[in-house]
Structure 1
Amino acid sequence: MRLQDRTAVVTGGTRGLGRAIAESYLAEGASVVCAARNPYDIEELADVYPGRVHYQETDVTDEDSVAELVEVALETFGALDILVSNAGLSRDGSISRLSAADWNATVGTNLTGVFLCTRAVIRIMAERGGGRIINVSSCVATRTAAGAAAYSASKAAVEMFTRTSAVELAPKGITVNCLSPGYIDEGMGKKVAADSRVWETYRRRLLAGRLGRPDEVGSAAVFLAGDDSSYVNGHVLEVNGGLMWAA
């Protein structure tokens, strides 16, 4: 129970990797606010962990919505110790045909959302003597992928925002780290593996020879949220099975 008596907010926490992270936190004793636009089947988690799961409808691109999320977390569980900014959006397309609206939507969710959520928890965590902020990036933040300009650029910016935040917030006892998943058996990763021809191309790039499991990402998120990572700050932790881009 490495996160016993701690409260976490996980944006995009009702499905995919966000839900996997929420489940891992709950298994380690934390209470979790799952923030997202849609609850999906989050009630299943509430049934398994009664009294420790709360869903809050949230738009991370909206300041008022983010402020309400933080307020609800405090009202529901009396604390806010961990923030995982996981909410993400992909509007892929070549630069020549990518619309300004899709670009803005991607950057707004993936980058501005991280900024708004970070800013909203600083005072609360500082008053409690510190906290943990974990931003979720992607393997394509550091590897070129044609057709993913908006997504890749926004995730690369998240990694630099993480490092800058770590410098600014360290005096307040807040660590800021980044989790960078590779191809995981969830969402887009699962779609890649479903196409045998495409999967063979990507499989050769993975030293592990397989997709990652969502719980493996969750375990890394637990490490960054707990006492074991107390001397880790401003770090980008890649969870990608040894991903080589050229193979």
Structure 2
Amino acid sequence: MTATPVYIVTGASRGLGFNVAKRLLGQASKVVAVARTEAGMAQLAEEFPGQVEYVTGDLADYATGEKAVKVAAEKFGGIDGIVFNAAVIHPVATIANTDINEFKRLFDINFFSILTTLKPAMPYLRESKGNVVFVSSEASYESHFYGWEAYGSSKACVNHLAATLAVEEPDVFAISVDPGVMDSAMQAEIREKHGTNMKQDHIDYLNKVKEDGSIPSIDPPASVIVSMVTKGPAELNGTYYAFNSPTLSPFITA
């Protein structure tokens, strides 16, 4: 472990990634934030001077993740953990109607960008006996998310990658965490842009929980993810769990 823990957080400019990064910074860690938009990351850098470096870029460009690893090593001296949070939901479409190029782009962001970041990070993670958290989804194994073939299959790959990493790298902790439905920018995008390509009961539910204020907060899953990337209980290595499962719910904090 570095003298001050160092973490990479992708998708850190808003929502879950921003919350996770801010919590880590509040624990006096150092964070390399990665996202397509700068504003949220610049806010973190202003609020936590000397603790933040950020990389602005599209993770579909594999050089973005590689640059994040380089920045962490050169600016902060190593890597103690990574939270792979960045993801897109588009395209939402049936297999018969999907745009294959859009499907492939989703995989570039949701899956291959993880590999192209993780590979150069491995020497640092081995040295620190670091922890890796993959943000997953119930859609990774449930088929009732109509139209979510691209997103769900990418998250299934993420779960398998976590399990594989745990076997291949015994000194590195890996876990997939499902944050569930939460009040995030992705949920807003699903409601506003993709409802016509989904089953009516699903979009009705998502609209209802937003309208009546019962949509869950980002805070509980963010707290679990922070616990996993900082503590990484060995008995959970290589597993997938929902953040509010009996296994992970004890790690929910304020």
User: TM-score, length-normalised on structure 2?
Assistant: 0.81
Query: C-alpha deviations, 1:121-158, integer Å up to 9, x for none?
Result: 111222x2411111111121122211111111111111
Task: State the SS of the aligned residue for 1:8.
Answer: strand
Q: Which residue of 2 aligns with 1:245?
A: none
1:223 aligns to 2:227 (yes or no): yes
Counterpart for residue 120 of structure 1: 120
Aligned to 1:132: 131
1:19 is aligned to 18
Q: How many Å separate the matches in 2 of 1:186 and 1:67?
A: 27
Q: Give the SS at the match of 2:96.
A: coil
Q: What is the aligned partner in structure 1 of residue 250 from structure 2?
A: none
State whether residues 14 and 40 of structure 1, in contact with CA within 8 Å, keep that contact through their aligned partners in structure 2: yes
RMSD: 2.8
Q: Distance in 2 between matches of 1:162 and 1:240?
A: 19
Q: Distance in 2 between matches of 1:63 and 1:103?
A: 17
> Which ranges of structure 2 fall in alignment gaps of 5 or more residues?
196-200, 247-254
CA distance in structure 2 between the aligned counterparts of 1:198 and 1:154, rounded to whole angstroms: 20
- Which of 207, 213, 218 is the matching residue for 1:214? 218
The Cα of 1:71 is off from its aligned counterpart by 0.9
Q: Shift of the alpha carbon at 1:60?
A: 2.8
1:9-53 per-position Cα deviation (integer Å, ceiling 9, x unaligned) = 011111121111111111222111111122133222222211111
Summarize the alignment of residues 33-72 of structure 1 with structure 2, pairs less than 5 Å apart.
Answer: 33-72=32-71
Deviation at 1:233, TM superposition (A): 0.4
How many residue pairs match? The answer is: 233
Distance 1:177 1:99, change over 3 A: same
Cα pair distance change 1:228/1:4, threshold 3 Å = farther
- Report the counterpart of residue 93 of structure 1 in structure 2: 93
Task: Give distance in 2, aligned partners of 1:240 and 1:199.
Answer: 22
Residue correspondence of structure 1 range 108-187 to structure 2 within 5 A: 108-126=108-126, 128-144=127-143, 145-170=145-170, 173-187=171-185
How far apart, CA to CA, are the structure 1 residues paired with 2:128 and 2:230?
15
Counterpart amino acid of residue 101 in structure 2: A
TM (normalized to structure 1)?
Answer: 0.84
Residues 1:188 and 2:186 aligned together: yes
Does 2:239 correspond to 1:235? Answer: yes
Q: Where do 5+ consecutive residues of structure 1 fail to align?
A: 243-247
Letter in 1 for 2:111: L
Q: Aligned pair in 2 of structure 1 residues 240, 183: CA closer, same or farther (>3 Å)?
A: farther
Q: Between the two proteins, what is the percent identity of the paired residues?
A: 25
Look up the equivalent residue of 1:115 and give its one-letter code.
Answer: L
Give the aligned residue type for 2:102: D
User: Using the alignment, how far apart are the partners of 2:55 and 2:216 within structure 1?
Assistant: 28
Is the contact made by 2:89 and 2:106 (CA closer than 8 Å) also made in structure 1? yes
Runs of 4+ in 1 over 4 A off after TM superposition: 190-195, 197-200, 202-205
Shift of 1:159: 0.5
Q: CA deviation at 1:72?
A: 0.9
> 2:249 maps to which residue?
none
